[in-house]
């Protein structure tokens, strides 16, 4: 029977949006070492600051059993390793398992007999045991299910959400054997007040995670496609959705840009595995194609409105309000606002981006975009409200329109402003 000692030290590998909140929860009652390859990130956390804004200084202080390290050798005394590194896609929309591979090799170099490695990173069904386990075996010299064990408990963090936190979101758990699964489940039950769900296998848990966001992606794709149809019919999409929403079982999805590290990425992990086994997933890929094209669609709509008003697109000053992938959050991962920018720039428009939440250095590093800090009233030919940050809501249509020229276009992607106060909305 596999057991985790009550005083076992836990290592959390990767201290981003997922790893840090988890480390803090465990660190309130158990010895935890939070590990990250970024020395700057470790230094920052040691001072009590979290640039992701997921954890406050007070919350970090509450985790009295938590320490931080960027030296993998300092994890040698840990029994449990929880991997929370990102699993992105590459430029060809194929899974990029590089962070997962490197983390597995690093853990294998320090883990000892009896260790338990739990993965939280989103992967396709089978990845943990097909990709990660062989790396752990090779680096450690131990044998899977004999010398060490694995578990899987997919992350369900929603960046920027202050209501749904680590402890208040039900956790799916799984292990390499039934008794390991039970140990994994009991470990998370120590900190997850919302409860846990023990899956029968790691593959089941992996599949459950990857379809959570695939389902949402497809629902949003349907609404986005409806928005394209209703636009051609001259019907306001939001009015249609509000009317349809009066039925008790109508799902309240809204059209928009689909970015971030989950919804716009996870489906490609599932389709990759499906194609690997000889099945071409038509519905999932069609939904992805629609959602990936919404940024270009918005840009084209703005260009058409400028043209109708005889405003030259080439040389036009366009302001985009918001760069993060969602409201009230500094997360820039896979933001689709960049698609709007790229399309407008092909028409030689001058595009400024303003976002009070994002880190300017990160925006420049990731996308080559330097956000505009000080906005000049009366400068812009077109304004696109792309992200529903609270600062933009507070400005309202009057405040936002002051930034435009006497004759300008205001396009509201998020339907934040009253219909009659904007020129168009998605």
CA distance 269 to 211: 10
| DSSP secondary structure, 238-279, as one string | HHHHHHHTTSTT----------TTTTTTHHHHHHHHHHHTT-
CA distance 323 to 353: 7
Provide the token pair at 355: 């976002």
> 320 with 295: CB under 8 angstroms?
no
Residue 68 phi, psi dihedral angles, 5° rounding: -125, 150
CA distance 251 to 219: 9
The two counts, helices (H) then strands (E), for the chain are 15, 13
Annotated active-site residue 150? The verdict is: no
| DSSP secondary structure, 355-383, as one string | -SSS-HHHHHHHHS-----SPPTT-EEEE
For residue 269, the Cα-to-chain-centroid distance in whole angstroms is 14
Provide the token pair at 150: 């694995």
Strand partners, 110: none
Q: Residue 66 is inside which H or E element, if any?
A: strand 66-69
CA distance 55 to 19: 11
> 104 with 82: CB under 8 angstroms?
no
Marked catalytic residue, from 78, 132, 150, 262? 262
Q: How far is CA 103 from CA 111, 181, 187, in A?
A: 12, 22, 21
Environment class of residue 378 by beta-carbon count within 10 Å: exposed (0-12), middle (13-18) or buried (19+)?
Answer: exposed
What are the residue numbers of the active site? 262
């Amino acid at each position: 029977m596999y057991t985790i000692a009550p005083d076992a030290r836990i290592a959390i590998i990767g201290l981003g949006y997922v790893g840090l909140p988890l480390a803090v929860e465990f660190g309130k009652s158990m010895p935890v070492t939070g590990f990250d390859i970024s020395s700057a990130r470790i230094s920052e956390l040691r001072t009590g600051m979290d640039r992701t804004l997921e954890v406050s200084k007070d919350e970090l202080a509450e985790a009295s059993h938590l320490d931080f390290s960027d030296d993998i050798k300092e994890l040698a005394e840990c029994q449990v390793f929880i991997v929370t590194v990102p699993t992105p896609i590459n430029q060809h929309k194929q899974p990029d398992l590089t962070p997962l591979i490197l983390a597995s090799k690093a853990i294998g170099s320090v883990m000892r007999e009896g260790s338990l490695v739990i993965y939280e990173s989103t992967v396709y069904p089978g990845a943990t045991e097909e990709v990660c386990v062989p790396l752990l075996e090779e680096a450690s010299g131990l044998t899977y299910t004999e010398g060490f064990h694995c578990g899987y408990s997919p992350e369900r963090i929603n960046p920027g959400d202050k209501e749904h936190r680590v402890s208040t979101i039900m956790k799916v758990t799984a292990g390499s054997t039934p008794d390991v699964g039970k140990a994994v489940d009991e470990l998370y039950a120590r900190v997850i007040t919302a409860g846990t769900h023990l899956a029968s296998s790691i593959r089941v848990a992996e599949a459950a995670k990857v379809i959570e966001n695939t389902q949402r992606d497809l629902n949003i794709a349907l609404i986005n496609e409806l928005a394209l149809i209703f636009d051609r019919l001259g019907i306001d999409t939001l009015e249609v959705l509000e009317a349809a929403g009066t039925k008790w079982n109508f799902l309240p999805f809204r059209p928009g840009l689909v970015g971030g590290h989950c919804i716009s990425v996870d489906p490609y992990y599932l389709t990759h595995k499906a194609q690997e086994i000889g099945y071409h997933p038509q519905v999932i890929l069609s939904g992805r194609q629609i959602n990936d094209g919404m940024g270009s669609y918005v840009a084209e709509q703005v260009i058409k409105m400028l043209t109708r008003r005889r405003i030259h697109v080439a040389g036009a000053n366009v302001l985009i309000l918001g760069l993060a992938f969602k409201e009230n959050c500094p997360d820039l991962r896979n933001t689709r606002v960049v698609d709007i920018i790229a399309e407008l720039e092909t028409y030689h428009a001058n595009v400024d981006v303003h976002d009070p939440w994002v880190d300017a250095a990160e925006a420049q590093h990731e996308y080559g975009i330097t956000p505009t800090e000080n906005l000049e009233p009366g400068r812009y030919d077109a304004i696109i409200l792309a992200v529903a940050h609270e600062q933009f809501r507070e400005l309202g249509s009057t405040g936002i329109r002051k930034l435009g020229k006497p004759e300008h276009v205001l396009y509201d992607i998020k339907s934040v402003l009253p219909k009659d106060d904007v020129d168009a909305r998605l």
